[in-house]
Amino acid sequence: MKLFTDVVSEISGGKLNARATAKLTEVVEACKRTCKKGKLALELEFTPRGSDSKQCDISFKLTAKVPESTLAPSVFFISGSNELTRDDPDQMDMFRTKDKEKASV
Range 85-96 average pLDDT: 82
Stated pTM of the model:
0.66
Confidence of residue 47 (pLDDT cuts 50, 70, 90): very high
* pLDDT average, residue stretch 34-46: 97
Residue 34 has pLDDT above 80, yes or no: yes
Whole domain around residue 89: which residue ranges? 4-104
Distances from the Cα of 33 to the Cα of 23, 63, 73, 100, angstroms = 15, 20, 19, 46
What does the pLDDT look like over 72-89, one tens digit per residue?
889 999 988 999 998 888
* Least-confidence region, from 18-22, 54-58, 63-67, 93-97: 93-97
Q: Which residues contact 66 (CB under 8 A, 6 or more apart)?
A: 26, 27, 30, 38
- What is the residue type of 19? R
Q: What string of H, E and C letters represents the secondary structure of 41-77?
A: EEEEEEEECCCCCCCEEEEEEEEEECCCCCCCCCCCE
- pLDDT value, residue 27: 97
- Number of domains into which the chain is organized: 1
Distance (Å, rounded) from C-alpha 3 to C-alpha 58? 15
pLDDT number for residue 52: 85
Alpha-carbon gap, residue 105 to 102, rounded angstroms:
5
